[in-house]
Structure 1
């Protein structure tokens, strides 16, 4: 019995009924327009004119339901008042957050989920018609019952208390019977609210929820968001990780030579300032994108910025031996940006885990591929890539997997591991098409 009474005690029952009654109320402004065809045909029988008004009213309500804004409002209200979990409509285009793109997408735009099928739009008018119909039925029936429940006890002292409404009469002999009937009317009114709310909750997922096409669109949109966040995580790891590693080493070098060589110490501090400024730009962009705010233009570092990257390593005290060949300036777009990030990750690992000695960097652009090699000296941890020298740093372990994922998306090949007893080698080969 308690389970049967529980719906009568829930606040969500009456908020759902209020949602239905509001739908009935909002449809009232359309009624004068719906009466125009009946007024234009004054000789028609009364029943025909009433039917014409109802049909015209339903048609106008259906037209209002075709608007996309109406669906968004109905979904938001159903979530709040009916407590039904409904996702937002799929296919909404989001602004691009970065000119950096995946292979196959154009710069400046972000791929979006496909729009739902046009046939799915007819479910909103059907929902709106059901919403309004249940709202009017519930409002009239519960209104009559509430009036009866409030009126009958007021006349309980009369010998012939009663209520007449729309040709229907309720007569109570008086006394405690009037209170019983009044309480029954109020319980019936609450039951009507339960029924109306239950019907709307049952229909909401079917008419306001996503269709099969919209579910696919929502899944595609979630996948795009996840891919974008993973890309931003890679960017943050590559940029900030490299900067912090270089700045830590530069600060140590500056501290050691501060008294003996103030000029070198100042140069190291200037390098720290420059690298951290660049990292702050990257960090500001990534955080803005993660907060879904309008951030500044994304920093687009390419192979053209490679000399600056190598200079920062030299300021950190590393000995870099670059070997650049081919037309690197003709490598553009996603490939050039990815190559820069790969080199940044490889050089960062060389700084972190290297045991001193030169870092060999080879970048060769051929007609069919871009080849990248980073070789550095390691300590006793050559088999794991974690040297025991002063450059060794703790790591999260996400660098090489992220690098491998970036290479995989570009249909390239990557090898990382010991190269002899005392060296570590990162070798990447990316398919490339040189521009004219």
Structure 2
């Protein structure tokens, strides 16, 4: 209420200056009203004014208004008008409540002071009240209590009125609510994408590290150099996974992430080498110009290959893995084939559905096609698993 009263000072001063006594009454009324409207409009114009009004209403009136959303130029003018309209009742109610509660508190102090000082006549509004000393004036403490209760009641009623009015003038309009909903949807989609990236990166690292640790254990006494090389690879891949984890957790906390890894097909060589160092036999071939692939497609393609290789290491044989990456005719094709095992039978759900679902989601978002399942041809009694993803590259760059 005191802030509302303070807000009324600039427009009232401007109105008083704009209505000099020498003007005729209609001119003074017009000048006062015009100055009042202009100053209130200026006060409600800045975007910070609306944010401040929303913050004050939430903190001191107990409302739950959302923060102002980014708006178009047309919406910005509507917000300015609504903010200025809010300042009018805030200032008016603030002046009235402050004046009434101030008078009541003054009366609550004055009556017992006069009574304890020996009594006197006290001016009340347009009349006078005689306060008698001694027992005859013992009603003064009762008046004090009533004045304080009435002051509290006035404050509560004024706050309740503003609390009802705040959502009407400070809440989001339908267009703002739609924009806020879209922003929340984009945020959730981004977080889901980060979670998928974390699954791909950490899953690949843990699978490769587990295999390399087993290799290091077997070679520790027979070939210490190879064992040391495997342990070094574990350290490097784990550090890269920690970078990914740090980045994703920082983004999920809505803070500035210390690192921002964005691996693309340009990093495919390092990924292939890490799989080979895990003891797998991997033959990788590339066709076409991979550096001309759009950045978004290149990032998602890297994650698809990473998840496919992780599944190959986790569920297949470490021998006979082939990877082919082809970019031509506006299409990027990723083909990964690996041996499953002698006379192996494919069972529904035998593969990690979570990883395959993640690959399918990435391909679907890029309007591509994906297929995964047993290869049609088998050789030497050994079944093979084949993953193929085709991603459109869009216009030539």
TM value normalised by structure 2: 0.86
Distance in 2 (CA, whole Å) between partners of 1:51 and 1:283 is: 66
Question: What CA deviation, in whole Å up to 9, does each residue of 1:144-189 have, x standing for no partner?
Answer: 2222233223445799865325535456775454444433322222
**SS of match in other structure, 1:84:** coil
Residue-pair matches, total:
387
1:150 aligns with 2:109: yes
Quote the residue 1:378 is aligned against.
340
Q: Deviations over 1:293-327 (max 9, x none)?
A: 33356223222221221111000011112243333
Q: What is the match of residue 133 of structure 1?
A: 92
CA displacement, residues 195-248 of structure 1 (integer Å, 9 cap, x when unaligned): 100011101111111111111111111112112212221222222221222122
The worse-fitting range, judged by mean Cα deviation, of 423-432 and 133-142 is 423-432
> Could you tell which deviates more after superposition, 70-79 or 143-152?
143-152
Question: What is the rounded CA distance, in whole Å, between the counterparts of 2:130 and 2:207 in structure 1?
Answer: 89
Show CA shifts across 1:104-149 (max 9, x none). Answer: xxxxxxxxx9994531321111111111110000011122222223
* 1:236/1:286 contact within 8 Å kept: yes
Of the three residues 382, 399, 421, the one matched with 2:355 is 399
Q: Higher Cα Rg: structure 1 or 2?
A: 2
Map residues 101-116 of structure 1 onto 2, 5 A cutoff.
116=75
The structure-2 alpha-carbon separation of the partners of 1:43 and 1:150, relative to structure 1 and needing over 3 Å to count, comes to same
Partner residue, 1:28 = 9
Q: Which position in structure 2 is the counterpart of 1:6?
A: none
Query: Which of 286, 296, 310 is equivalent to 2:272?
Result: 310
Q: Distance in 1 between matches of 2:30 and 2:110?
A: 34
Q: Deviations over 1:344-373 (max 9, x none)?
A: 011111111224432222222231422212
* 1:192 is the counterpart of 2:154: yes
Matched, 1:358 2:329: no
* Stretch deviating more after TM superposition (419-428 or 145-154): 419-428
* Distance in 2, Cα, partners of 1:53 & 1:246: 79
1:46-61 paired onto structure 2 within 5 Å: 49=28, 52-53=31-32, 56-61=35-40
TM-score (norm 1): 0.79
Conserved 8 A contact 2:10-2:39: no
Residue aligned with 1:281, SS: helix
User: Cα deviation per residue 1:319-345 (whole Å; 9 max; x = unaligned)?
Assistant: 112243333343231111111110001
Quote how far apart the aligned CAs of 1:23 are.
Answer: 2.1
The aligned counterpart of 1:422 is 383
Alignment of 1:276-291 (within 5 A): 276-291=238-253
1:19-418 correspondence to structure 2 within 5 Å:
20-29=1-10, 31-38=12-19, 41-45=20-24, 49=28, 52-53=31-32, 56-91=35-70, 116-156=75-115, 163-165=122-124, 167-170=126-129, 174-296=136-258, 298-378=260-340, 382-384=346-348, 386=350, 398-418=354-374
CA contact (8 A) 2:243 2:259 kept: no
CA distance in 1, matches of 2:73, 2:287: 43
Task: Compute the displacement of 1:261 (Å).
Answer: 1.6
Q: Which runs of 5+ in 1 are unaligned?
A: 1-19, 93-112, 388-394
In structure 2, the CA distance between the partners of 1:49 and 1:360, relative to structure 1 (3 Å rule), is: same
Structure 1 residues 364 and 158, CA, compared in 2 at 3 Å: closer, same or farther? closer
Give me the whole-angstrom Cα distance separating, in 2, the residues matched to 1:402 and 1:289: 20
Cα 1:158/1:341, change in 2 over 3 Å: closer
CA distance in 2 between counterparts of 1:116 and 1:296 reads: 36
Retained in 2: the 8 A contact 1:331–1:434? no
